Structure 1
Amino acid sequence: MPDHTWVKLELDVKTFDASRFATYAERCREAGIRFTTLADLGDTAANRRAVYELNKECSADIPGRGAFYTFDEYLAQRIETPSFDPRGVVIAIDGDMWCGLSMSSDRRSEGFVFVEMTGVRRDYRGRGISLAMKTYGMGFAHLCRVNTIRTVHHPGNTTAIAMNRRLGYVDADWN
């Protein structure tokens, strides 16, 4: 697919009002879902494998996704890179089940944080977990000392695009 068809979105974290979305995290907590980061859980080989498996499962419904990376490709392209930081990987957990993730990379040298992937297991969708994870994950931009968060979506991924726009992301044009 040509690059110009992708939906590029950007959020100014200085103007983001997290209080508008606090009820989502509260409802998740009341339902027993907690949020943490890969850094807090431990950036171990086993946890990296668990992130991969969760990302692979959650990515299956993304329009135009195609075949998912092998584990070795995933490590090389997503984790063993200079922009990877386990503090940018938010995990939603229900009991012992990892039910969602929002993975951001540190692009502070370019002036932003990039949300690589946000996804929730099918059985957990529709509960506000994605909104809660993305809101929780905005703290990563503060850790990186940037005011901009970027993401990109296939135009057919209308649910993710709508969620990001609801959070305040606007259309952007970058190369």
Structure 2
Amino acid sequence: MVATRDSGAVTVREYVPADAAAVCALLRAEEPQQVATPRSVHAQAVAMPARQHCRLLLAEIGGRMVGCARTGLFADAQDAGAGFANVNVAVADRGRGAGRALLAAAEAHLEAVGATSCYAWAHPEPACEDFATAHGYRPGREARFLRLDLGPGGPLPSRPRLPRGVLLLPAVAWERDPRPLWRTDVECFRDEPGDVAADHLSYTDWRALNWDRPDFDADLSTVAVVDGEVAGLVIVQTDGERHYASGGTGVRRHFRGRGLAKAAKAHSLHLARAKGYREATTSNDDGNAPMLAVNIWLGYQLSGSERRYIRDLSPVRPA
């Protein structure tokens, strides 16, 4: 979510495939903690789960794209009415009404598909926070962004010694049937703190959101196996050039406390460095102390934050 002032001559339209490179450039500038490629932008616009009703909306001024909004319903939320609207406007074009127009269009779409609430991220800047409040949003939880220099002189520690009976394997080993990874992912992230409970995700939707994404890296995504049983995993997205991002790290409940998350993530990062990736990013809920501790041990440093803002979209009933 971004701040805006004047309405101006802003038009909002739907994404088309020819927009992928421009949207990618915008997201790389505005959300550097995320992996973005033209292929991943296109996939997230057209290949997401049907129940999400995803749309990618673009704002233009004078025929030039200045911002975008990614909006839809959460595919993994128990609350079927939980929707999201993530708005980005180029810094040089803020204050001309693009953010307001994109947010209004996104909220209209969410209301049309039955959303009863909207969750939106906002940069920790007074103007952005004021914009969110002025549009009826209340503050939620904070996410911390962390960055690790994967260059040869970076701070990555050695791989920790594995406990007896533990193997670390690439996710591609489950290429024929990744269902064990889906079940592990769903179980792990039921416990992750956040504004939206991520506790309901079908296998088909999980594939669309993770496995089938063009930026999903099945070689660097790492699975911890204990005595032949999948115990945890690190989901990785890469841009094929220099940027490695952790899409999620989790360990099943009865395997926790053995250092598996630390071992699996360190292993994955060492592989990424060997393949030439030079920057690793990740994010954690501010209340996820165990994973924050793992990332700090790995050498990640705080690089920024965002706060979630929430608005009730339920229709107001007459008294």
* TM-score bucket of the superposed structures, by smaller chain: 0.7 to 0.9
- Residue 17 of structure 1 deviates from its aligned partner by 3.7
2: distance between equivalents of 1:87 and 1:140? 9
1:56 partnered with 2:186: yes
For residues 1-175 of structure 1, the aligned pairs below 5 Å read: 2-4=121-123, 5-14=142-151, 15-19=154-158, 22=159, 24=160, 26-28=161-163, 31-39=164-172, 41-44=173-176, 46=177, 48-64=178-194, 65-67=196-198, 68-108=200-240, 111-142=242-273, 144-173=275-304
1: distance between equivalents of 2:147 and 2:284? 11
- Residue 69 of structure 1 deviates from its aligned partner by 2.5
Contact preservation (8 Å) 1:90, 1:101: yes
Contact preservation (8 Å) 1:63, 1:154: yes
- Cα 1:93–1:148, aligned 2, differ >3 Å: closer, same or farther? same
- Residue 61 of structure 1 deviates from its aligned partner by 0.7
Q: Alignment partner of 2:147: what SS?
A: strand
TM-score scaled by length of structure 2: 0.48
- Residue 97 of structure 1 deviates from its aligned partner by 0.8
2: distance between equivalents of 1:63 and 1:164? 16
2: distance between equivalents of 1:98 and 1:34? 10
- Residue 144 of structure 1 deviates from its aligned partner by 4.9
2: distance between equivalents of 1:142 and 1:114? 12
- The one-letter code of the counterpart of 1:66 is A
Task: Report how many aligned residue pairs link the two structures.
Answer: 165
RMSD over aligned CA atoms reads 2.1
Give % identity.
24
Q: Provide structure 1 residue ranges, at least 5 long, that are not aligned to the other structure.
A: none
2: distance between equivalents of 1:17 and 1:105? 19
2: distance between equivalents of 1:117 and 1:17? 19
Q: Provide structure 2 residue ranges, at least 5 long, that are not aligned to the other structure.
A: 1-118, 124-141, 307-319
1: distance between equivalents of 2:245 and 2:263? 17
- Residue 34 of structure 1 deviates from its aligned partner by 0.9
- The one-letter code of the counterpart of 1:141 is A
- Cα 1:131–1:37, aligned 2, differ >3 Å: closer, same or farther? same
Contact preservation (8 Å) 1:108, 1:145: no
TM-score scaled by length of structure 1: 0.84
More helix by share: 1
Q: Which has the higher contact order (CA 8 A, sep 6+)?
A: 1
Contact preservation (8 Å) 2:236, 2:246: yes
Contact preservation (8 Å) 1:141, 1:148: no
CA-to-aligned-CA distance 1:25-58 (integer Å, 9 cap, x gap):
x242xx211111122x2411x2x11111000011
